[in-house]
Structure 1
Amino acid sequence: MSRALSAPALPAPKIQPPALLAALALLLGTGAIGAVVSPRQGALFLLGGALGLVLYHASFGFTSAWRVFIAEGRGRGLRAQMVMLALAVLLFFPVLASGALFGTPVKGSLAPLSTGVVFGAFIFGIGMQMGGGCASGTLFTAGGGNARMLVTLLFFVIGSVLGTVHFDWWLSLPALPPVSLVQSFGAAGGIALSLALFAAIAAITVFVERRRHGALEREAPSPTQGFARFARGPWPVVAGAIALALLNFVTLALAGRPWGITSAFALWGAKGAAALGFDPASWSYWQTPANAQALSSSVFTDVTSVMNFGIIAGAMLAAGLAGRFAPSLRIPLRSLVAAVIGGLLLGYGARIAYGCNIGAYFSGISSGSLHGWLWLVAAFAGNVAGVRLRPIFFR
């Protein structure tokens, strides 16, 4: 009669100096931004830190979840995304229907059903697999010490700027006006329809996984439990999904609109282009009142930029707590080329598609915007193409 052996307890990882630096940056940054800009802006920086910590500890990657399902038929990551979206619509739709949250006006992330959404999401999907991450994945892995993702992030920014140069041309192509499930069916009807779609997607992943593997994959047990697991990870992926939905709702309460990432990349790139002697203010994209004000102001007054800075710091904090902050500059040439190509596709695609996996997919669907569903279909098709291209660049 065999007897199962328990795994030996692993020593707790040593907290690394980057964790202390990141914690100090989050504390001082929150105070400084709160004093110079506004307390709400400081809170958004700290909220970004919480998002970065959750993304890192839960390893919540949209890119890897889609790649594993496409290549291997494993759907645990996709099902976690459906849990995240289901909780988000339950929170968002009633508030968006009323138009206010705690007395603050709120609005969803709505966008047209355009040619740019289809093409942009498709090339964004390819870029996810070439660059090795999505918008949120690029930020939290770069903050966690992945040097290759800094390359992806740089070219993500460059691609975003190129997207603003051509933005008016993409606007001239055929498009349908924005469609809101909340406005079309009401909060209850929109929730019911959305939950049915999430359940259908989850059921498809279960069917595919059981057909290919006979049983559903189970999450590996963690060597740490209790508070140690909370502080140092890894978290269950479903815990990450729930936390991201809740934190997106907090973003809606503080910022008046859902979480977004990539508009800040375009802003950073435009400011960099101006420093190099270009005149982005003459481009039509930067001539709308909101964009013109963002371009002429400090990045610390921009909600998305401040939250992105927080995500990087939060991920660095998580990596340091987990004892896994170990940057390496030894990047294979083909992988480096893939990071450049992927970053450009990610940046350009996100800008013409009105957002990324966060702004268009997560926040778009959570807002009841039909463009979020269109983005999902086109981006998934792009991921299928990207997975087929990966062997050219990766072993």
Structure 2
Amino acid sequence: MSAGTAAPTTSTKPETPPQARPQWLPLLLGIAGSVALVTATAFVAGAKLAALAALGLALGLTLFHSRFGFTSAWRQLVSVGQTSGVRAHLLMLAAASVLFAPILAGGVAFFGGTPEGNVEPLGLGLVVGAVLFGIGMQLGGACASGTLFAVGGGNTLLVVTLFFFIVGSVIGALHLPMWSSDAITLGSFSLAEDTGLGYGGALVLQLAVLGAIGWVATRWARRHDAPPAGRPPTARGVWRVVRGSWPLWVGALVLAVLNAAVLLTRGSPWGITSAFVLWGSKGLQAVGVDVASWPYWQGEKAAALSQSVLTDGTSVLDFGIMIGALVASAASGAFVLAKRLPAKVLLAAVVGGLLMGYGARLAYGCNIGAYFSGIASFSLHGWAWGLLALVGTWIGLRLRPLFGLDVPKPTDSVC
């Protein structure tokens, strides 16, 4: 080697993938859509719903930038023993529980009233619905929140999943009286209010259980020699905030804070799928179907059929998630539209969407309304939903090859 030639250097640090440039057209459309959503909602429904629209945008940005998954976390746990995603769930649930406890114990919502948690009944509908939802997640390619932020990010396949998610939700609403009858329903159970522990005692108990599960999850991953997890950042410094990707633990904490903000804003926690029933029912009503006569739409829910969707808090949150994900994906240079989709994969999206929509109605919620918000509200229903969805995940993984879908192997890297 000559004196003027520098010796080659080596580095053990993983290389950072080149950062894609922002996609300005979809980014500008997303920003315009964000402004339009908040402005239109404020005009139609007032400041409270406009605040929910802004929270929906923040949820969409967070979900996309952190790629915070429920479907993938359970798939990785069951298939290869990787628990990083589930441990992020535990952190999110613990943080949300800490925030929810004082709010539910005696808080006052920002716009008046007393906040109430998602505490739903236990029964056969929960068992069947949560298992069906777990199967549907693994076939449809995403959960409820994942479907929305993937659609916002331009995922063509998830548009199909979302459409049939709505269809399944409407069918589930039609059949709900059969699945919620007193003969097969035990009623709701709050770890805070029905045990005498109060919210303080229930919080201590819940944090202890979440911690124990986290310890078991860590040992489980080591015992199964789980493949490595984690994604290198696609941006560094302050740009990582707006261009991703965020660590899972950051996404977990931000989602917990945003869910608490939703609870304080509208008086109830974050949910997703009740809006799908509304959208689908309005569509049927527009072509002459008398959905107003269904038992599901009696009582307090009846007015929603004749009002703008912008007066429905869950719909506004859902719109915000999709638009927020559009902004996040375009800013990251990750917005992708059409792709060629095999017939089997399309069929999986159809079946998965139907199962998730139907299951969410029977089980009083999805991975957000039942699992995340239910557990944070100290509802036994939320804990049962999570366990049953794992059963559905196990079944769904065994069905994926029938639709030409891969199942992770122990030799695969996980990201």
Tell me whether 252-261 or 10-19 shows the greater mean CA deviation.
10-19
- Tell me which structure has the larger Cα radius of gyration: 2
Specify the code of the residue in structure 2 equivalent to 1:29.
Answer: L
Equivalent residue for 2:251?
Answer: 240
The answer as to 2:338 corresponding to 1:331 is no
Q: 1:25-104 residue pairs with structure 2 within 5 A?
A: 25-101=33-109, 104=113
Percent identity, aligned pairs only? 48
Equivalent residue for 1:281?
Answer: 292
Output the CA distance in 1 between the equivalents of 2:10 and 2:332: 32
Match of 1:213, SS state, is coil
Residues 133-159 of structure 1 show CA distances to partners (whole Å, capped at 9, x for unaligned) of 110000000110000000000000000
Q: 1:187-226 residue pairs with structure 2 within 5 A?
A: 187-213=199-225, 217=228, 219-226=230-237
Residues 196-247 of structure 1 show CA distances to partners (whole Å, capped at 9, x for unaligned) of 2211221222111101117x84534324222111111000011000000000
Pick from 252, 258, 261: which aligns with 1:250?
261
Specify the code of the residue in structure 1 equivalent to 2:34.
Answer: L
Equivalent residue for 2:20?
Answer: 13
Specify the code of the residue in structure 2 equivalent to 1:13.
Answer: A
Equivalent residue for 1:24?
Answer: 32
CA-based RMSD of the aligned residues comes to 1.7
Match of 1:182, SS state, is coil
Specify the code of the residue in structure 1 equivalent to 2:59.
Answer: L
Equivalent residue for 1:155?
Answer: 164
Match of 1:142, SS state, is helix
Native 8 Å contact 1:104 1:253 kept in 2: no
Output the CA distance in 1 between the equivalents of 2:44 and 2:302: 21
Q: 1:209 to 1:167 in 2, by over 3 A?
A: same
Relative to the length of structure 2, the TM-score reads 0.91
Pick from 4, 20, 26: which aligns with 2:11?
4
State the aligned residue count. Answer: 393
Output the CA distance in 2 between the equivalents of 1:2 and 1:203: 40
Equivalent residue for 1:354?
Answer: 364
Output the CA distance in 2 between the equivalents of 1:52 and 1:223: 18
Specify the code of the residue in structure 2 equivalent to 1:212.
Answer: H
Q: CA deviation at 1:19?
A: 1.3
Pick from 301, 326, 335: which aligns with 1:316?
326
Specify the code of the residue in structure 1 equivalent to 2:164.
Answer: F
Residues 41-88 of structure 1 show CA distances to partners (whole Å, capped at 9, x for unaligned) of 111111101100100000001000110111111000000000000000
Native 8 Å contact 1:54 1:243 kept in 2: yes
The answer as to 2:183 corresponding to 1:171 is no
Native 8 Å contact 1:270 1:280 kept in 2: yes
Q: CA deviation at 1:2?
A: 8.8
Relative to the length of structure 1, the TM-score reads 0.96
Match of 1:177, SS state, is strand
Native 8 Å contact 2:372 2:382 kept in 1: yes
